[in-house]
Structure 1
Amino acid sequence: MSDLVVVAFDDEQTAFRVRDKLARMSKEHLIGLEDLVVVVRHQDGKTDVKQSMSLAGLGALSGSFWGLLIGIIFLMPLLGLAIGAVTGALAGHLTDYGIDDAFIKEVSETVKPGGSAVFMLIKEVTPDKFLKEMEEFRGTVIKTSLTDESETKLREAFGEAPEEKEKVAAPAV
Protein backbone atom coordinates (compact mmCIF):
# COMPACT_ATOMS: atom_id res chain seq x y z
CA MET A 1 0.00 0.00 0.00
CA SER A 2 1.26 3.46 -0.88
CA ASP A 3 1.47 6.48 1.40
CA LEU A 4 0.45 9.98 0.37
CA VAL A 5 2.49 12.95 1.59
CA VAL A 6 1.83 16.60 0.69
CA VAL A 7 4.29 19.28 1.81
CA ALA A 8 3.95 23.03 1.17
CA PHE A 9 6.79 25.54 0.90
CA ASP A 10 6.96 29.32 1.22
CA ASP A 11 8.52 29.94 -2.21
CA GLU A 12 7.97 28.74 -5.77
CA GLN A 13 11.32 26.96 -6.21
CA THR A 14 11.67 24.66 -3.19
CA ALA A 15 9.16 22.09 -4.44
CA PHE A 16 11.23 21.71 -7.64
CA ARG A 17 14.39 21.22 -5.57
CA VAL A 18 12.58 18.54 -3.54
CA ARG A 19 11.43 16.90 -6.80
CA ASP A 20 15.03 16.82 -8.06
CA LYS A 21 16.24 15.37 -4.76
CA LEU A 22 13.52 12.69 -4.90
CA ALA A 23 14.52 11.78 -8.47
CA ARG A 24 18.11 11.29 -7.33
CA MET A 25 16.97 9.25 -4.33
CA SER A 26 14.82 7.12 -6.62
CA LYS A 27 17.85 6.31 -8.78
CA GLU A 28 19.68 5.27 -5.60
CA HIS A 29 16.69 3.05 -4.62
CA LEU A 30 16.11 4.97 -1.39
CA ILE A 31 12.53 5.72 -2.37
CA GLY A 32 9.99 4.29 -4.79
CA LEU A 33 7.41 6.74 -6.05
CA GLU A 34 4.15 5.86 -7.74
CA ASP A 35 3.43 9.48 -8.53
CA LEU A 36 5.02 12.87 -7.92
CA VAL A 37 3.31 16.21 -8.57
CA VAL A 38 4.61 19.74 -8.07
CA VAL A 39 2.12 22.58 -7.64
CA VAL A 40 3.15 26.24 -7.86
CA ARG A 41 0.80 29.02 -6.86
CA HIS A 42 1.98 32.29 -8.36
CA GLN A 43 1.55 35.70 -6.72
CA ASP A 44 -1.39 36.43 -9.03
CA GLY A 45 -3.21 33.35 -7.65
CA LYS A 46 -2.80 31.20 -10.79
CA THR A 47 -1.83 27.60 -10.11
CA ASP A 48 0.50 25.46 -12.25
CA VAL A 49 0.43 21.68 -11.82
CA LYS A 50 3.48 19.75 -13.05
CA GLN A 51 2.91 16.00 -13.29
CA SER A 52 5.98 13.80 -13.17
CA MET A 53 4.62 11.32 -15.70
CA SER A 54 3.11 12.04 -19.08
CA LEU A 55 0.56 9.31 -19.65
CA ALA A 56 -0.27 10.78 -23.06
CA GLY A 57 3.31 10.16 -24.21
CA LEU A 58 3.35 6.63 -22.85
CA GLY A 59 -0.05 5.96 -24.42
CA ALA A 60 1.14 7.25 -27.79
CA LEU A 61 4.20 5.00 -27.68
CA SER A 62 2.17 1.94 -26.72
CA GLY A 63 -0.56 2.77 -29.25
CA SER A 64 2.05 3.24 -31.99
CA PHE A 65 3.46 -0.21 -31.34
CA TRP A 66 0.08 -1.94 -31.38
CA GLY A 67 -1.15 0.12 -34.34
CA LEU A 68 1.98 -0.76 -36.34
CA LEU A 69 1.59 -4.43 -35.48
CA ILE A 70 -2.07 -4.50 -36.53
CA GLY A 71 -1.25 -2.38 -39.60
CA ILE A 72 1.37 -4.91 -40.70
CA ILE A 73 -1.18 -7.70 -40.41
CA PHE A 74 -3.62 -5.79 -42.65
CA LEU A 75 -0.83 -4.52 -44.97
CA MET A 76 -1.26 -0.85 -43.91
CA PRO A 77 1.53 -0.28 -41.36
CA LEU A 78 1.71 3.53 -41.62
CA LEU A 79 -2.02 3.96 -41.22
CA GLY A 80 -2.01 1.55 -38.27
CA LEU A 81 0.92 3.40 -36.71
CA ALA A 82 -0.83 6.78 -37.01
CA ILE A 83 -4.19 5.56 -35.71
CA GLY A 84 -2.50 3.66 -32.85
CA ALA A 85 -0.48 6.72 -31.81
CA VAL A 86 -3.51 9.01 -31.76
CA THR A 87 -5.77 6.61 -29.87
CA GLY A 88 -2.97 5.71 -27.43
CA ALA A 89 -2.23 9.37 -26.69
CA LEU A 90 -5.92 10.09 -26.18
CA ALA A 91 -6.36 7.10 -23.88
CA GLY A 92 -3.26 8.09 -21.90
CA HIS A 93 -4.48 11.67 -21.57
CA LEU A 94 -7.86 10.53 -20.25
CA THR A 95 -6.37 8.04 -17.79
CA ASP A 96 -6.09 9.23 -14.18
CA TYR A 97 -3.15 7.42 -12.65
CA GLY A 98 -1.67 8.00 -9.22
CA ILE A 99 -2.85 10.96 -7.19
CA ASP A 100 -6.42 12.02 -7.96
CA ASP A 101 -6.56 15.23 -9.99
CA ALA A 102 -9.53 16.58 -8.02
CA PHE A 103 -7.61 16.05 -4.77
CA ILE A 104 -4.58 17.89 -6.20
CA LYS A 105 -6.77 20.81 -7.25
CA GLU A 106 -8.53 20.96 -3.87
CA VAL A 107 -5.32 20.88 -1.82
CA SER A 108 -3.46 23.27 -4.16
CA GLU A 109 -6.01 25.95 -3.28
CA THR A 110 -4.60 25.91 0.28
CA VAL A 111 -1.10 26.80 -0.93
CA LYS A 112 -0.46 30.47 -0.30
CA PRO A 113 0.32 32.76 -3.26
CA GLY A 114 4.04 32.71 -4.04
CA GLY A 115 4.32 29.22 -2.57
CA SER A 116 4.59 25.68 -3.86
CA ALA A 117 3.82 22.14 -2.79
CA VAL A 118 4.98 18.65 -3.61
CA PHE A 119 2.59 15.68 -3.67
CA MET A 120 4.31 12.31 -3.20
CA LEU A 121 2.68 8.91 -3.55
CA ILE A 122 5.33 6.71 -1.95
CA LYS A 123 5.24 2.95 -2.47
CA GLU A 124 8.49 2.16 -0.66
CA VAL A 125 11.04 4.14 1.30
CA THR A 126 14.09 3.85 3.50
CA PRO A 127 12.68 6.08 6.27
CA ASP A 128 15.85 7.15 8.09
CA LYS A 129 17.68 8.14 4.89
CA PHE A 130 14.59 9.84 3.43
CA LEU A 131 14.08 11.94 6.57
CA LYS A 132 17.77 12.91 6.66
CA GLU A 133 17.67 14.03 3.00
CA MET A 134 14.55 16.15 3.61
CA GLU A 135 16.07 18.05 6.56
CA GLU A 136 17.60 20.70 4.29
CA PHE A 137 14.13 21.82 3.18
CA ARG A 138 11.79 23.83 5.36
CA GLY A 139 8.15 23.12 4.71
CA THR A 140 4.75 22.45 6.20
CA VAL A 141 3.20 19.00 6.00
CA ILE A 142 -0.36 19.53 4.75
CA LYS A 143 -1.69 15.98 4.32
CA THR A 144 -0.42 12.47 4.90
CA SER A 145 -1.71 8.95 5.15
CA LEU A 146 1.09 8.03 7.55
CA THR A 147 0.79 6.81 11.11
CA ASP A 148 0.90 9.51 13.80
CA GLU A 149 4.45 8.53 14.78
CA SER A 150 5.74 8.61 11.19
CA GLU A 151 3.96 11.90 10.52
CA THR A 152 5.58 13.48 13.59
CA LYS A 153 9.04 12.41 12.38
CA LEU A 154 8.27 13.79 8.92
CA ARG A 155 7.14 17.12 10.37
CA GLU A 156 10.35 17.34 12.40
CA ALA A 157 12.45 16.57 9.30
CA PHE A 158 10.80 19.50 7.48
CA GLY A 159 11.54 21.79 10.40
CA GLU A 160 8.09 22.01 11.97
CA ALA A 161 7.93 22.34 15.72
CA PRO A 162 6.34 19.31 17.33
CA GLU A 163 2.74 19.90 18.29
CA GLU A 164 2.35 20.21 22.00
CA LYS A 165 -0.11 17.67 23.31
CA GLU A 166 -2.32 18.83 26.11
CA LYS A 167 -1.22 17.09 29.27
CA VAL A 168 -4.07 15.80 31.37
CA ALA A 169 -3.28 15.36 35.03
CA ALA A 170 -4.10 12.01 36.50
CA PRO A 171 -6.86 12.17 39.10
CA ALA A 172 -5.63 12.22 42.69
CA VAL A 173 -6.39 9.11 44.70
Structure 2
Amino acid sequence: MTTLTIWCYRDADRAETALRRLERLQHRSRITIADAAVVAWEPGSRRPRAYQTGTVGGTAALSGAFWGLLFALAFLLPEPGASAAGVGLSDGFLRLLRARIGPGGSALFVLTDHDAPDELRAALAGTDVELFVHRLDDTQEAALRHAFADR
Protein backbone atom coordinates (compact mmCIF):
# COMPACT_ATOMS: atom_id res chain seq x y z
CA MET A 1 0.00 0.00 0.00
CA THR A 2 1.22 3.49 -0.84
CA THR A 3 0.77 6.57 1.32
CA LEU A 4 0.66 10.16 0.15
CA THR A 5 1.38 12.57 2.99
CA ILE A 6 0.82 16.29 2.60
CA TRP A 7 2.74 18.57 4.93
CA CYS A 8 1.07 22.03 4.89
CA TYR A 9 2.90 25.13 6.09
CA ARG A 10 1.78 28.71 6.67
CA ASP A 11 4.90 30.16 5.02
CA ALA A 12 5.67 29.95 1.30
CA ASP A 13 9.25 28.71 1.80
CA ARG A 14 8.77 26.18 4.61
CA ALA A 15 7.90 23.17 2.40
CA GLU A 16 11.20 23.52 0.53
CA THR A 17 13.07 23.70 3.84
CA ALA A 18 11.31 20.52 5.02
CA LEU A 19 12.12 18.81 1.71
CA ARG A 20 15.84 19.54 2.17
CA ARG A 21 15.69 17.98 5.65
CA LEU A 22 14.04 14.82 4.26
CA GLU A 23 16.52 14.66 1.37
CA ARG A 24 19.43 14.67 3.82
CA LEU A 25 17.83 11.83 5.77
CA GLN A 26 17.18 9.86 2.59
CA HIS A 27 20.74 10.40 1.44
CA ARG A 28 21.88 8.86 4.75
CA SER A 29 19.43 5.93 4.17
CA ARG A 30 17.37 6.82 7.25
CA ILE A 31 14.11 7.17 5.29
CA THR A 32 12.93 6.12 1.83
CA ILE A 33 10.88 8.42 -0.38
CA ALA A 34 9.37 7.09 -3.60
CA ASP A 35 8.49 10.53 -4.96
CA ALA A 36 7.88 14.07 -3.76
CA ALA A 37 6.58 17.41 -4.98
CA VAL A 38 6.41 20.93 -3.59
CA VAL A 39 3.75 23.62 -3.90
CA ALA A 40 4.76 27.13 -2.82
CA TRP A 41 2.32 30.03 -3.06
CA GLU A 42 3.95 33.41 -2.63
CA PRO A 43 1.78 36.11 -1.03
CA GLY A 44 0.10 38.20 -3.71
CA SER A 45 0.59 35.63 -6.49
CA ARG A 46 -2.40 34.46 -8.49
CA ARG A 47 -1.16 30.89 -8.61
CA PRO A 48 1.23 28.67 -6.72
CA ARG A 49 4.38 27.32 -8.26
CA ALA A 50 4.77 23.58 -8.11
CA TYR A 51 7.41 21.08 -9.05
CA GLN A 52 8.19 17.39 -8.75
CA THR A 53 11.41 16.56 -6.94
CA GLY A 54 11.55 12.78 -7.28
CA THR A 55 14.16 11.23 -5.00
CA VAL A 56 17.74 11.94 -4.06
CA GLY A 57 18.77 9.29 -6.59
CA GLY A 58 16.94 11.14 -9.36
CA THR A 59 14.15 8.61 -9.77
CA ALA A 60 10.42 9.21 -9.43
CA ALA A 61 7.62 6.75 -8.71
CA LEU A 62 5.10 8.76 -10.70
CA SER A 63 5.30 10.76 -13.88
CA GLY A 64 5.12 14.52 -13.85
CA ALA A 65 1.67 14.12 -15.41
CA PHE A 66 0.26 12.88 -12.09
CA TRP A 67 1.56 15.88 -10.17
CA GLY A 68 0.43 18.21 -12.96
CA LEU A 69 -3.09 16.80 -12.87
CA LEU A 70 -3.27 16.94 -9.08
CA PHE A 71 -2.08 20.54 -8.90
CA ALA A 72 -4.24 21.68 -11.82
CA LEU A 73 -7.37 20.17 -10.29
CA ALA A 74 -6.58 21.50 -6.83
CA PHE A 75 -5.26 24.98 -7.57
CA LEU A 76 -5.80 26.13 -11.14
CA LEU A 77 -9.43 25.24 -11.81
CA PRO A 78 -12.08 27.15 -9.84
CA GLU A 79 -13.99 23.98 -8.91
CA PRO A 80 -13.15 20.71 -10.56
CA GLY A 81 -15.79 19.54 -12.97
CA ALA A 82 -13.73 16.47 -13.71
CA SER A 83 -13.01 14.00 -10.98
CA ALA A 84 -9.77 12.17 -10.36
CA ALA A 85 -11.49 9.55 -8.18
CA GLY A 86 -10.44 6.81 -10.60
CA VAL A 87 -6.85 7.30 -9.49
CA GLY A 88 -7.55 7.63 -5.78
CA LEU A 89 -8.12 11.38 -5.60
CA SER A 90 -11.65 12.24 -4.51
CA ASP A 91 -13.29 15.63 -4.92
CA GLY A 92 -13.30 15.87 -1.11
CA PHE A 93 -9.53 15.39 -1.06
CA LEU A 94 -9.09 18.13 -3.69
CA ARG A 95 -11.35 20.50 -1.69
CA LEU A 96 -9.22 19.80 1.39
CA LEU A 97 -6.06 20.81 -0.49
CA ARG A 98 -7.70 24.03 -1.74
CA ALA A 99 -8.81 24.91 1.77
CA ARG A 100 -5.42 24.27 3.39
CA ILE A 101 -2.96 25.58 0.80
CA GLY A 102 -3.43 29.18 -0.24
CA PRO A 103 -1.51 32.39 -0.87
CA GLY A 104 1.39 32.71 1.54
CA GLY A 105 1.52 28.98 2.25
CA SER A 106 3.28 25.91 0.95
CA ALA A 107 3.02 22.15 1.04
CA LEU A 108 5.30 19.18 0.66
CA PHE A 109 3.74 16.09 -0.97
CA VAL A 110 5.60 12.86 -0.19
CA LEU A 111 4.84 9.43 -1.65
CA THR A 112 6.10 6.56 0.51
CA ASP A 113 5.23 3.04 1.54
CA HIS A 114 2.58 2.65 4.23
CA ASP A 115 4.97 2.62 7.22
CA ALA A 116 6.88 5.80 6.39
CA PRO A 117 4.54 8.54 7.76
CA ASP A 118 5.71 7.81 11.30
CA GLU A 119 9.35 8.12 10.20
CA LEU A 120 8.58 11.35 8.36
CA ARG A 121 6.65 12.72 11.33
CA ALA A 122 9.68 12.10 13.53
CA ALA A 123 11.98 13.72 10.95
CA LEU A 124 9.82 16.84 10.78
CA ALA A 125 9.15 17.09 14.53
CA GLY A 126 9.27 20.60 15.85
CA THR A 127 8.11 22.24 12.63
CA ASP A 128 4.86 24.20 12.44
CA VAL A 129 3.06 21.81 10.11
CA GLU A 130 -0.40 20.46 9.44
CA LEU A 131 -0.26 16.85 8.25
CA PHE A 132 -2.72 15.01 6.04
CA VAL A 133 -2.32 11.33 5.26
CA HIS A 134 -4.00 9.82 2.21
CA ARG A 135 -3.57 6.05 1.91
CA LEU A 136 -4.19 4.39 -1.42
CA ASP A 137 -5.55 0.88 -1.39
CA ASP A 138 -4.15 -1.65 -3.87
CA THR A 139 -6.88 -0.95 -6.45
CA GLN A 140 -6.34 2.82 -6.31
CA GLU A 141 -2.58 2.41 -6.50
CA ALA A 142 -2.88 0.11 -9.54
CA ALA A 143 -5.21 2.60 -11.26
CA LEU A 144 -2.82 5.46 -10.50
CA ARG A 145 0.22 3.62 -11.85
CA HIS A 146 -1.68 2.50 -14.96
CA ALA A 147 -3.04 5.98 -15.68
CA PHE A 148 0.32 7.70 -15.31
CA ALA A 149 2.73 5.03 -16.49
CA ASP A 150 5.29 6.16 -19.02
CA ARG A 151 4.13 4.92 -22.40
The two structures have a TM-score, normalised by structure 1, of: 0.52
2:19 corresponds in structure 1 to 19
Contact 2:37 2:108 in 1 (8 A): yes
| Higher Cα Rg, which structure | 1
Task: Quickly say closer, same or farther: Cα 1:108–1:50, change in 2 above 3 A.
Answer: same
| Runs of 5+ unmatched residues, structure 2 | 77-97, 137-151
Asked if residue 106 in structure 1 is aligned to residue 73 in structure 2, the reply is: yes
Q: Indicate the larger mover: 115-124 or 125-134.
A: 125-134
Segments of structure 1 that go 5 or more residues without pairing to the other structure are 59-94, 147-173
Work out the CA distance in 1 between the residues paired with 2:22 and 2:114.
Answer: 12
The normalised TM-score by structure 2 is 0.58
Residue from 125, 130, 136 that aligns with 1:135? 125
Counterpart of 2:50 in structure 1 is: 49
Closer, same or farther in 2 for the Cα pair 1:33/1:99, shift >3 Å?
Answer: farther
Secondary structure, counterpart of 1:114 in structure 2: coil
The percent of aligned pairs where both chains have the same amino acid is 20
C-alpha distance in 1 between matches for 2:74 and 2:16:
18
Asked if the contact 2:36/2:53 (under 8 Å) is kept, the reply is yes
**Other-structure match for 1:3:** 3
Is the 1:40–1:117 contact (alpha carbons within 8 Å) kept by the matching residues of 2?
A: yes
Q: Which has the higher helix share?
A: 1
Higher RCO by CA contacts (8 Å cutoff, separation 6 or greater): 2
Mapped to 2, the partners of 1:25 and 1:118 lie a distance apart of: 15
SS in 1 for 2:35: strand
User: Residues 49, 17 of structure 1: CA spacing in aligned structure 2 closer, same or farther, 3 A cutoff?
Assistant: same
Taking structure 1 as reference, are residues 121 and 18 closer, same or farther at Cα in structure 2, changes over 3 Å only? same
Which whole-Å deviations, capped at 9, do the CAs of 1:21-66 have from their partners, x for residues lacking one?
1101111222211111010112223210121149xx98xxxxxxxx
- Cα separation, partners in 2 of 1:127 and 1:41, compared to 1, 3 Å: closer
Partner of 1:40: 40
Matches within 5 A, 1:142-157: 142-145=132-135
> Which residue of structure 2 lines up, in the alignment, with residue 160 of structure 1?
none
* 1:49 aligned partner, one-letter code: A
